[in-house]
Structure 1
Amino acid sequence: MTKTFIALHATGQSPSVQAKPSLPLGGGLRFIGLFQMKKRLFLNTVVVSLAVAGAGCITFGSNCPHKVDPADYDETIRVACVGDSITFGAGIKDRKNHNYPLVMGKSLGDRFDVRNFGVSGATMLKKGDFSYWERPEFKQAREFNPHVVIIKLGTNDTKPQNWKHSAEYAADYEAMIDHFVALPTKPKIWLCSPAPVYQTRWGINEKGVVEGIIPQVQALAKRKGLPIIDLYAALSGKPEMFPDKIHPNAAGAKVMAETIEAAIISK
Structure 2
Amino acid sequence: MKNQSIKHFLFLTVIFLMFVNINTQAQNKQVKIACIGNSITYGSHLEDSERDCYPTQLSNLLYKVYGHNCVVKNFGVSGRTMLKKGPKPIWVEPKFSEAKNMAPDICIILLGTNDSRPDLWAKIGKEFYGDYKSMIKTFKKINPKTKFIVGLPSPIWKNHPYGGTAWGDKHNDSILVNGVIPNIKKIAKKRNVTSIDFHTPFENKVDLFPDYLHPNAEGAKIIAQMIFDIIEEKNMIQKVINKK
Residues of 2 paired with 1:72 and 1:216: CA distance? 37
Q: Which has the higher contact order (CA 8 A, sep 6+)?
A: 1
1:138 pairs with 2:96: yes
Q: Is the 8 A contact 1:180 1:186 kept in 2?
A: no
Q: Among residues 84, 93, 110, which one is paired with 1:152 in the alignment?
A: 110
Residues of 2 paired with 1:265 and 1:111: CA distance? 14
Q: Structure 2-normalised TM-score? A: 0.77
Give the secondary structure class of the aligned counterpart of 2:199.
helix
- The residue number in structure 2 matching 1:195 is 154
Give the secondary structure class of the aligned counterpart of 1:165.
helix
Residues of 1 paired with 2:130 and 2:214: CA distance? 26
Q: Which one has a bigger Cα radius of gyration?
A: 2
Task: Kindly state the Cα deviation for residue 162 of structure 1 after the two structures are TM-superposed.
Answer: 2.3
Residues of 1 paired with 2:96 and 2:232: CA distance? 24
Q: Among residues 112, 123, 126, which one is paired with 2:70 in the alignment?
A: 112
- The residue number in structure 1 matching 2:225 is 258
Higher helix share: 2
1:77 pairs with 2:44: no
Structure 1 gaps of 5+ residues are 1-70
Q: Per-residue displacement from partner, 1:117-158 (whole Å, max 9, x unpaired)?
A: 001000000010100111111111010111100001100001
Q: Per-residue displacement from partner, 1:57-108 (whole Å, max 9, x unpaired)?
A: xxxxxxxxxxxxxx96851111000000000000111111100000110110
Residues of 2 paired with 1:162 and 1:260: CA distance? 29
- The residue number in structure 2 matching 1:10 is none
Task: Kindly state the Cα deviation for residue 219 of structure 1 after the two structures are TM-superposed.
Answer: 1.1
Mean alpha-carbon deviation: is it higher for 98-107 or for 219-228?
A: 219-228
Letter in 1 for 2:101: E
Give the secondary structure class of the aligned counterpart of 1:262.
helix
1:228 pairs with 2:195: yes
Letter in 1 for 2:87: D
Runs of 4 or more consecutive aligned structure 1 residues displaced over 4 Å after TM superposition: 71-74
Letter in 1 for 2:137: D
Letter in 1 for 2:35: C
Letter in 2 for 1:198: W
Q: Structure 1-normalised TM-score? A: 0.71
Count residues with an aligned counterpart.
197
Letter in 2 for 1:96: E
Give the secondary structure class of the aligned counterpart of 1:115.
strand
Residues of 2 paired with 1:76 and 1:116: CA distance? 16
